[in-house]
Amino acid sequence: MSENKPVHLAVYDTYADWETGHTTAWLARGGYEIRTVGPTPAAVRTIAGVRIQPDEVLDTLRPEDSSLLVLTGADLWDTSDDLAPFARKAREFLEAGVPVAAICGATAGLAKEGLLDDRAHTSAALFYLAATGYRGAERYVDADAVTDGGLVTAGPTEPVALAREVFRLLGVYEGEVLDAWYRLFHDSDPEAYAVLEAAGQ
C-alpha cells in the first residue's frame, strides 16, 4: 500500500477529459491513489459523455487527507458559478499548505476566487482571465505551465506541461528523468524513451 496520501481529482459535468490524463496516470504509477471528488454523490458526465461516479464529496474533503487537489477545465467554469465551491476548496488547500493544480477553465475559477492575484500563474490567455475581473494581470506569465509555491496552473493545450510541473512539485520525477518524460510525451522524442527505460520508468 502506498505511504503517500491520495491525490484528489475534481470531477463535475462537462469535465474536459483530455486535460489531466497524463497527470493522474503517471501519479498512479508513481504510487499515488487517485480519488475522484464530485459536488455531490451523484455521477457526473465529462464533455465526452463518460460517466464518472465520485469516490468522495467535496464538502467532506479535508486538505490534511490529501497530497494534491487537481482541478480540470469544464464548460461550467465559464457558464455558471456551479463550480465556485471547488475554487473555495482550492483556497482551503493552499492555506493549509497542500498543493493545487489547475488547468484551462479551472484557472478562471481560481482567478474569480482571488487566488491568482498574488501568485505567478498562466492560463489560456491573459484576456481570458481578465474577463473575470481579477487583479492579478501583472503576475500573468506567458508559459506552458507555471508553479508558484503550491499552485500549478496551465492552459488548455498543455496537459503534458501540467503533469511535468506536478511531478516536479511532488518529487515523482526529477532532473534528467523528468526532462526525458516531458520530451517523450510532448515532443515524441525517441531518445527520451531510452532515458526512462534506463531509469526503470
Backbone φ and ψ for 16, nearest 5 degrees, come out as -80, 100
CA gap 143, 154 in Å, rounded:
8
Grid cell digits, residue 45: 458526465
The full 3-state SS of 44-109, as one line of letters, equals EECCCCCEECCCEEHHHCCHHHCCEEEECCECHHHHCCCCHHHHHHHHHHHHCCCCEEEECHHHHH
CA gap 75, 73 in Å, rounded:
7
- Count of Cβ atoms closer than 10 Å to residue 51 Cβ: 8
Catalytic position from the list 102, 103, 104, 151? 104
CB 154 within 8 A of CB 162: yes
Query: In the annotation, is 104 catalytic?
Result: yes
Burial of 92 (0-12, 13-18, 19+ CB in 10 A): middle
Kindly list the catalytic residues.
104
